[in-house]
Amino acid sequence: MAVGMINPAQAGKHPDPAQVRVWVQQGEILSLEAILQKQPLPGTLLDAELEYEDNRLIYELKWRDAHGERHETEVDAASGRWLEDETD
C-alpha cells in the first residue's frame, strides 16, 4: 500500500492499535512520538487520539499551555502538519 493510501474501511473512526502500529512501521503515518519530537507541544499533553476524519488520519491532541488554557489541536498523521488549534 502506498503512502496516503490507507483504506477507510481499515481505519474506522478510531483505528485498532495493532493496525496503527502497522501503518507506522510501513511509513503510512508518523507515530505520535515522532510528531511531538518534530514539533513539541508548548505545554502538557492531557490526551491523544488517532481518528479517521475528512478522508485522512489525524491525531487529536488535548493539552494545557503554561497559562492554564486547554487546547485541542488536530495534526495530520501522515505529514505531522498542525491543521487546527482551538482553545477552551
Tens place of pLDDT per residue across the chain (88 aa): 344 456 555 555 778 888 889 999 999 999 999 999 999 999 999 999 999 888 889 999 999 999 999 999 999 999 999 999 999 8
Q: Which three cell numbers stand for residue 26?
A: 510501513
Residue 11: half-sphere exposure toward Cβ, Cα within 13 Å = 21
Give the amino acid at 19: Q
* Residue ranges of domains in the chain: 13-87
In words, the CATH class of domain 13-87 is alpha beta
What is the H or E stretch that residue 48 is in?
A: strand 43-53
In this structure, are residues 57 and 6 in contact, taking their beta carbons and an 8 Å threshold? yes
The pTM assigned to this predicted structure is 0.82
